[in-house]
């Protein structure tokens, strides 16, 4: 693995990464395996969990995380991403980017001689998916159950489709017509599912889809960059809100997950996200441990 641009880049190392993440979580002594290493962290979009988990993770492993907003870089003044990548490669040991466009990530990786990590793009969020599967493993013990993702077929949904297909976990996406995951993701997920035995489905009927599910997952209805669609999206996605009624149709021991930030009263209710079936805080914590596993594997 040279870069982590898609969850597919680590499809043969997912279980190994989850094991490393678990060891980091259980250990009180990390050692300094990344002593003297520097990670450049480029943020084209603001972040809470991504920034903190990468910066703290580098610190705990003995390295340094360097926060770089695009306005602080010449990218913000029109320098080609390729030039930035070639320059940064002479200074740092790895680059993490939270990019507006997936193509920006690809350009960066194609011109970088050091590992590049996808901290989020409009197409995928592989770091989130790894933390999510760490959480599922902690609560369910394996990947034999079924995950329901309700809402927009967005970047988080895309990476979940791919990682579930790799691990053999059944997954259904319940979304309004016209908001399905992109065809390229679905085709790739189906090919992976054919090998693992996972069942991948897309439906607009959330009431049927939620029955028998072990994991109920949702995300905001209006992602960054979609604010102009707020009014329409609130109306279109309302039937897909995860509330007590929806949770009541899933398995009794089903867990609720959300990648955060959450808007109570929109994609979920306070009674669910703050309720006994919610594991969102463990899920958020696991971003730190899975991030450390990624950094250790790529930069050691």
Q: CA angle at residue 283 from 70 to 26, to 5 degrees? A: 105
282 is catalytic: no
The one catalytic residue in 164, 287, 289, 291 is 287
Tell me the C-alpha distance between 36 and 127, whole Å. Answer: 23
Catalytic residue among 60, 152, 219, 283: 219
Torsion sign over Cα 168, 140, 9, 102 = positive
For this structure, is 125 an active site residue? yes
Q: Confirm whether 194 is a catalytic residue.
A: no
Catalytic residue among 213, 259, 283, 291: 259
- Among this protein's residues, is 287 annotated catalytic? yes
192/213 Cα distance (integer angstroms): 21
The catalytic residue among 3, 49, 125, 289 is 125
As given in the structure block, the two tokens for residue 156 are 């988080």
Residues in CB range of 77: below 8 A, 6 or more apart? none
Is the distance from CB of 299 to CB of 34 less than 8 angstroms?
yes
Set 8, 60, 128, 258: catalytic member: 128
3-state secondary structure of 49: helix
User: Cα 290 from chain centroid?
Assistant: 11
What backbone phi and psi angles, to 5 degrees, belong to 266?
Answer: -110, -95
Per the CB < 8 A criterion, the answer to whether 39 and 94 are in contact is: yes
**100 in active site:** no
Nearest to residue 163, comparing CAs of 292, 2, 9, 11?
Answer: 11
Strand order in the sheet with 94-98: 64-69, 38-43, 94-98, 116-120
CA distance 39 to 94: 5
Q: Given the residues 3, 8, 93, 98, select the one marked as catalytic.
A: 98
| 219 catalytic residue (yes or no) | yes
Q: Which residues contact 158 (CB under 8 A, 6 or more apart)?
A: 123, 124, 125, 181, 182, 185
The catalytic residue positions are: 98, 125, 128, 219, 259, 287
């Amino acid at each position: 693995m040279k870069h982590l641009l898609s969850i597919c880049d680590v499809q043969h190392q997912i279980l190994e990464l989850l094991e490393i993440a678990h060891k980091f979580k259980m250990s009180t002594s990390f050692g300094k395996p990344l002593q003297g290493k520097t990670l450049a962290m480029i943020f084209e979009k603001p972040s809470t969990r991504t920034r903190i988990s990468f910066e703290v993770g580098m610190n705990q492993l003995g390295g340094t995380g360097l926060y770089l907003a695009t306005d602080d870089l010449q990218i913000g003044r029109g320098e080609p991403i390729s030039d930035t990548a070639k320059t940064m490669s002479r200074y740092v040991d790895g680059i993490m980017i939270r990019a507006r466009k997936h193509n920006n990530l690809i350009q960066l990786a194609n011109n970088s001689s050091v590992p590049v990590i996808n901290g989020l793009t409009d197409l995928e969020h592989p770091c989130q998916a790894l933390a999510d599967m760490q959480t599922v493993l902690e609560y369910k013990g394996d990947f034999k159950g079924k995950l329901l993702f309700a809402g927009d077929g967005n970047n988080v949904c895309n990476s979940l489709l791919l990682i579930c297909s790799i691990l053999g976990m059944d997954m259904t996406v319940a979304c309004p017509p016209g908001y399905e995951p992109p065809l390229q993701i679905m085709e790739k997920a189906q090919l992976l599912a054919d090998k693992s035995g996972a069942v991948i489905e897309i439906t607009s009927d959330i009431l049927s889809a939620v029955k028998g599910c072990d994991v109920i997952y949702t995300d905001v209805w209006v992602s960054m960059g979609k604010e102009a669609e707020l009014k329409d999206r609130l109306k279109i996605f309302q039937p897909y809100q995860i509330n007590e009624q929806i949770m009541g149709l899933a398995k009794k021991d089903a867990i609720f997950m959300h990648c955060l930030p959450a808007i109570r009263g929109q994609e979920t209710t306070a009674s669910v996200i703050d309720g006994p079936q919610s594991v969102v805080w463990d899920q958020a914590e696991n971003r730190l441990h899975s991030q450390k596993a990624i950094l250790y594997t790529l930069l050691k």
